[in-house]
Chains A and B, each alone.
Chain A
Amino acid sequence: MALKIVKGSIDRMFDKNLQDLVRGIRNHKEDEAKYISTCIDEIKQELKQDNIAVKANAVCKLTYLQMLGYDVSWAAFNIVEVMSSSKFTYKRIGYLAASQCFHEGTDVIMLTTNQIRKDLSSPHQYDTGVALTGLSCFVTPDLARDLANDIMTLMSHTKPYIRKKAVLIMYKVFLKYPESLRPAFPRLKEKLEDPDPGVQSAAVNVICELARRNPKNYLSLAPLFFKLMTSSTNNWVLIKIIKLFGALTPLEPRLGKKMIEPLTNLIHSTSAMSLLYECVNTVIAVLISLSSGMPNHSASIQLCVQKLRILIEDSDQNLKYLGLLAMSKILKTHPKSVQSHKDLILQCLDDKDESIRLRALDLLYGMVSKKNLMEIVKKLMLHVDKAEGTTYRDELLTKIIDICSQSNYQYITNFEWYISILVELTRLEGTRHGHLIASQMLDVAIRVKAIRGFAVAQMATLLDNAHLLTGNTQRNGICEVLYAAAWICGEFSEHLEDPMQTLEAMLRPKVATLPGHIQAVYVQNAAKLFATVLRKHEGETDSHAAQETSQLLIDRLPLFVQSANLEVQERASCILQLVKYIQKLQQKKVEVAEEVTALFAGELNPVAPKAQKKVPVPEGLDLDAWINKPPSESESEDEKPKAVFAKEEPKHSRSRHTEVDEKELARRREARKQEQANNPFYIKASPSSQKVYDAPGVEHIPVVQIDLSVPLKVPGMPMSDQYLKLEEERRQKEKAERKKKEKKKKREKRGKERKADSGPESEEDITPAHQVDIVTEEMPENALPSDDDDKDPNDPHKALDIDLDKPLADSEKLPVRTHRPEVLKSPAEDRVNENIPQETKKRSGKETKEKKKGKEKDRKRSKEEKKKKKHKEVEEELLESQPEEAVQSEETKEAATPPTSTSAEEETAPSSAAAVDTSSAAAPESEPDEPKDAEPEDTKSSKHKKKKQKKEKEEKEKKKKKRHHHHHHHHHHHHSDAGGEDSVQNGTVEEEEPLPPMSNYSLLAENSYIKMMKEDADQVYDIQGNHQDESKVVVSVIFENKSDSFLKSMEFNVLDSLNSKLQRPEGAGAHDSLTVPFQLPPGISNEARFVFSVQSIVMPQKLKGTLTFIVKSDESSTHEKLDFKLHFTCTSYLITTPCYSDAYAKLLESGDLKGSSLRLEGINMPFHHLLARICFHHHFSVVERIDSCASMYSRSIQGHHVCLLVKTSDQTVSIDAKCDEPSLLGNVLDEIKQTFSKC
């Protein structure tokens, strides 16, 4: 043996280690992939060796390769092997590899549970530490459930190093297994006051993470945190707490008020910028939450803004960035205090750092006022010219438009200036935002009547110079503005100075290169222009000019008739024919202008998006009734009576649209928005909600006359700068005028202005040069914005929204990992159970264990023994003392749980069945009376215990023998194998708790060397999504070495059937066997789990299998095999699922279930006993029990419902059963029958 070790280590020297691998990869730069693939082959060879050192080395290399992007999941099993090495060095390598590549989908993870538990309870703190670190990266819901209790115990470990890790990992456990949050929370809270700062910090960390997602549940902790905040000196902790308060204050404004003072103190006192920054942030949050109620915090705001200014002025770019970020938060509620720092923010626009510039832009958006808009935009325009890189320039462009158009052009006082800006922006090369500029142009031209003349002139110039925009195909984005230009020129052609020239420009051959939708607008508007030209020349004696125009159209339009774009083609040919006809008439000297103009008559008013809906339905009109028999589509919307539209707008139809249900409204709204978004003729709603302006109101809008000092026609491209100067002059003039006028009159007028209240006082002095015609969207009163929308239903944190102030229910206790038998107990069984027969057998084992056990344990156990004598007191005491007794929680809980549980919940074998856990958690809610009922029964039972026990002992003897066996093995196994505290604890439990009479284990096969025991498929779960109708079943098999030799190289193989297949690692063939991941010294037993995938579950299955192994004694070694048959009963596919009685009744009423029944004669056992048996062996839960009649429920892993109605009279039991799968039901009933025939 010793020789082998030395030999191994010599072999190892010539294996590549990590450093060699890295060096090799660096030396093979040209053929890296090839080199690595040979390395992987080597690694595969190394992994096949028995020497753990070689394996660890290989796994270490794999971890490196994983970082380079190679998939190493195929070695997952080897990683588990290395993790389970007893040497810290290798263990650490294993856990590191696992943390890098294990995830929820890794199936070997379920093999690690026991190993991790062992490591967690290791006497060496670094073993525990490494296990915790690893687990934090790959914890799965199963691991979380199985290990929650162990980790909770570690939270009270003596070493702070372990404590802090255990506390921190609890967050991950909560995420994966939310049921653990409530039971663990009291201890977590305790850790907030741990003497070790590291542990304290970890606890703060966890609670902050929890509270961030569901702050309202943690409000009650505020006083504790408040205390910590004022006492702690650890900046990390302080930052976390302060951030937490930032999340809490919006929920509790009173808290905010209290916070201001200590935070202000911190701001003044701290030297750490990070802390200062977070304090400022939280103060801002507080101020925001208070802003409505308490306006008197200007000092705090000033302080914040002041500090932020310091940050922004700092040379450190990071502080600058964060300062701007925080500033934008203040801006939302206290814009005035930020506006005074405009200079600073404008400075930031010149910063070389793009992130800072973008932040500053964000701020500018909120800082503009009527006064400074032009100035700011001018600055931005300068930046547009300077900017390199299209992204930033596009960003600038959108920001300029955003800034100007915000709240219905609230801050624009001179629209000529704005149009000039827009026109200037069209000169931007390569922007993507042409459509944005175009829609602004349309919007302004339509809504600001007074500006139309100017706008049309500008657009005509644009059209004339279209080649500048379209010259380069790269500029495609910008040609969108031509769409707007053409439409504006056509629609408002009466303002055109020289329509003929524009018409000519629109019909240039080059236009044909524009995108189709723009050409279509060109053609249509050419017709409008044509009408205008005709009208202009009407009445002139010389009709030459008009005829020339017709000729122009007839000459040019054929170009468009040939267009590939259908829209263009259709419009062009239609208009062409029209013009040809007109030409004929013209030649006959007929006056046509009026008729042609009539084609485009009527003004396009801006229509509120909601306007259509506001049209009241005239009395006696039923909109749902058919007008004609077939649905008529010819009805044009334009023909709706305008008068109705106009007069009775906002007041009516309220009641009507409240009737429409919300969903429908939302849907319609969405559709309408879509439609409007695509329709340039619609006025976009502004985000702020205001009164809807009466639709026909264009006429009533107070339109300020355009100042004549502004030239109406600017030759060439306009220069917005000119307007800046002019505007200033205008303002001064206005000011002077105003002084003369009466103030009161002004006030009244302003009162009517919709926007009068927004913006700083001083701004009221600036009147806009033009009034915008505002139409705003109004939300229907029943469509409230719902808060739930922003919550992602898949958010894992949603599950953690748990009320933590409610007292803990017993059922919520964390599942305690013990051996299956110990947990199976019910009031019924209490009577039958007793441990005397085992006592003797166990004594030897117990004594050795006691030596191992620490003093603390001894004390606790003696205490416990005393308790046992006074049964009732014990319960109370235990329940009370529960939180304090941290270390011994396992025993304590063991003792504390039984009284509250019913038989149905009882067989919670936490370690085994996933579904069972949920049943125990849910049951008390569904059956709140149960615990009370159970308690007296239990006390009674303890009195009668002895008598009954004796009576029933004999009955049970058979069963128990089997049980002992199993126990014994486990005993041994832990004794030698686990060796740590773990086994000791389990040992105690065994001594003190009576053994349950039922076993899930059955003998699988046995020979002179080995014995295999199989547990009824205990972890049954279906994998949803992955395989649609394939479920997985985990089978635990206990291997016990009965010989005096060493058993090794055990290989487990099963002949797959069509229906059931053993899951083998990827890459393995269908007939390959699985290596059992351990070896067995003489007399030792150990448990392995195998996963089977099963397709149909309605029939029981038998699988033939073989176990091969090598028997190694001192002299010889032989190869042996053992055949066995694995029996999957239908029962094993059932999951104990709790069911509410009303749901149960509904299920039965539904009529989808088919019935069957069973009669059992000569059953001589109490009814509750019988139920417990069915529950235990067949995974049912009791729904309701009335006297000697009970309804039971279970669900299969594929979702079949199975319902039982069990009645008993004398010695006859009748079971009526219903299930949606008759064959499954038949088989389950057969199995139930068998269970009872055995006893």
Chain B
Amino acid sequence: MIKAILIFNNHGKPRMSKFYEHYTEDTEQQIIRETFHLVSKRDENICNFLEGGLLIGGSDNKLIYRHYATLYFVFCVDSSESELGILDLIQVFVETLDKCFENVCELDLIFHVDKVHNILAEMVMGGMVLETNMSEIITQVEAQGKMEKSEAGIAGAPARAVSAVKNMNLPEMPKNINIGDISIKVPNLPSFK
């Protein structure tokens, strides 16, 4: 079982959190903080597993993470999951994000958490791996996106226009984003299938 999936940036700011067990908001934040603390002090080229999942569950748990550009993707799993399998799953997840957002970067995740959640929901459900085939995931995500668009129809058009205008009115927008939009480079790993 996957106990939690966390995405946070190099400064520990949460970009997406999904807990498959219930915790209070405070505990969730604490878990994110501590996980960040554990993960961030590790060098780049050391192993991606961390024992001592004391935060969630107990000794059976492991943290498995990957670091892409400015973001950490952390999965907290128990012993029923294969460590290497989860690493590959993270890769699939990031590659899927990359396809859905077209060169994904931290900003995409910042502004579209809901979409990230929806993509994740096609991969992992209730803590169990639902689908690992990227093209299948993308098909389902896109089909749902289409449905959303067709529902918005005419009523949605003005809202979209306003949103566009809003963005136009904010020339300072890139300035505010100090991380810049370094896109997450997805390295080609030996694929898991």
Which residues of A does B touch, CB under 8 Å?
A: 5-6, 9-10, 12-14, 17-20, 22-23, 26-27, 53, 60, 63-64, 66-71, 87-89, 92-93, 96, 100, 103-104, 124, 126, 129-130, 132-133, 136-137, 139, 161, 164-165, 168-169, 171-172, 198, 201-202, 205-206, 208-209, 212, 234-236, 239, 243, 272-274, 277-278, 317-322, 352-356
Contacts and interface: CB of A to CB of B under 8 A. Distances in A.
B49 A274 contact: no
Contact of B114 (A9, A96, A139): A96
Given A165-B130, A236-B129, A318-B83, A352 B46 contact: yes
A164 B166 CA distance: 41
B131 A19 contact: no
Interface string B44-82: 011111110000000000000000000000000000101
A71 B26 CA distance: 9
Nearest to A353: B46
B121 interface: yes
A22 B85 CA distance: 34
Contacts of B45: 317
B147 A13 contact: no
A27 B126 contact: no
A277 B84 contact: yes
A172 B126 contact: yes
Nearest to B45: A317
A352 B43 contact: yes
Given A67-B16, A198-B131, A236-B132, A13 B49 contact: no
A136 B151 CA distance: 26
Given A26-B176, A274-B192, A355-B47, A212 B84 contact: no
Given A317-B46, A321-B47, A136 B80 contact: no
A498 B45 CA distance: 57
Nearest to A236: B132
B29 A69 contact: yes
B117 A272 contact: no
Given A23-B176, A198-B131, 11 more contacts: A27-B176, A66-B25, A88-B151, A92-B144, A132-B125, A198-B136, A274-B192, A277-B83, A318-B48, A353-B43, A356-B46
B125 A69 contact: no
Contacts of A133: 121, 125-126
Given A9-B158, A353-B46, A322 B83 contact: yes
Closest 8 A/B residue pairs (Cβ) = A136-B126, A274-B84, A353-B46, A103-B22, A317-B47, A69-B29, A13-B162, A321-B47
Interface residues of B, number: 67
B133 interface: yes
Nearest to B149: A89
A96 B47 contact: no
Given A13-B158, A27-B176, A164-B131, A235 B192 contact: yes
A320 B46 CA distance: 10
A5 B155 contact: yes
Contacts of B110: 22, 26
30 contacts: A6-B155, A9-B156, A9-B158, A9-B159, A13-B162, A17-B163, A26-B176, A63-B113, A67-B17, A67-B113, A69-B25, A89-B152, A124-B147, A133-B125, A137-B20, A168-B125, A198-B130, A209-B80, A235-B193, A243-B80, A274-B82, A274-B83, A274-B85, A274-B192, A277-B83, A277-B84, A317-B48, A322-B49, A353-B46, A355-B50
A168 B147 CA distance: 24
A919 B102 CA distance: 56
Residue among A96, A130, A133, A273 having the largest count of chain B Cβ atoms under 10 Å: A133
A169 B130 CA distance: 10
B185 to A, nearest CB: 18
B22 A22 contact: no
Contacts of A5: 155
A273 to B, nearest CB: 6
Contacts of A69: 25-26, 28-29
B14 interface: yes
A243 B86 CA distance: 14
Contacts of A10: 158
A208 B82 contact: no
B128 interface: yes
Given A5-B155, A9-B155, A353 B47 contact: yes
B87 interface: yes
B88 interface: yes
Nearest to B22: A103
Contacts of B85: 235-236, 239, 274
Contact of B130 (A17, A89, A202, A274): A202
Mostly, the A contact residues are helix
A165 B85 CA distance: 20
B103 interface: no
A212 B82 CA distance: 14
B186 interface: no
Given A63-B113, A320-B47, A352-B43, A212 B176 contact: no
A96 B46 contact: no
B148 interface: yes
Contact of B147 (A126, A161, A169, A198): A126
A13 B155 CA distance: 10
Contacts of B135: none
Contacts of A67: 14, 16-17, 113
A22 B46 CA distance: 34
A205 B113 CA distance: 28
A272 B84 CA distance: 10
Nearest to B21: A103
Nearest to A106: B22
B68 to A, nearest CB: 16
A60 B114 contact: yes
B177 interface: yes
Contacts of A60: 114
Interface string B129-143: 111110010001001
B190 interface: yes
Interface string B156-179: 101101110010001001001100
Nearest to B107: A22
B1 interface: yes
A23 B144 contact: no
A64 B113 contact: yes
Contacts of B117: 63, 96
B82 A168 contact: no
Contacts of A14: 162
B47 A171 contact: no
A205 B155 CA distance: 42
Contact of A23 (B51, B128, B155, B173): B173
A355 B62 CA distance: 12
B82 A277 contact: yes
Contact of A273 (B14, B20, B84, B133): B84
Contacts of B22: 103-104
B150 to A, nearest CB: 9
A839 B108 CA distance: 60
A64 B49 CA distance: 28
Nearest to B120: A133
Interface string B6-17: 000000001011
A70 B25 CA distance: 6
Contact of A88 (B111, B144, B176): B144
A66 B117 CA distance: 13
Nearest to A322: B83
A33 B112 CA distance: 21
Residue among A23, A69, A355 having the largest count of chain B Cβ atoms under 10 Å: A69
Contacts of B51: 355
Given A23-B170, A67-B16, A356-B47, A171 B128 contact: yes
B44 to A, nearest CB: 10
Residue among B17, B46, B126, B152 having the largest count of chain A Cβ atoms under 10 Å: B126
A360 to B, nearest CB: 12
Nearest to B26: A69
B147 to A, nearest CB: 5
A872 to B, nearest CB: 44
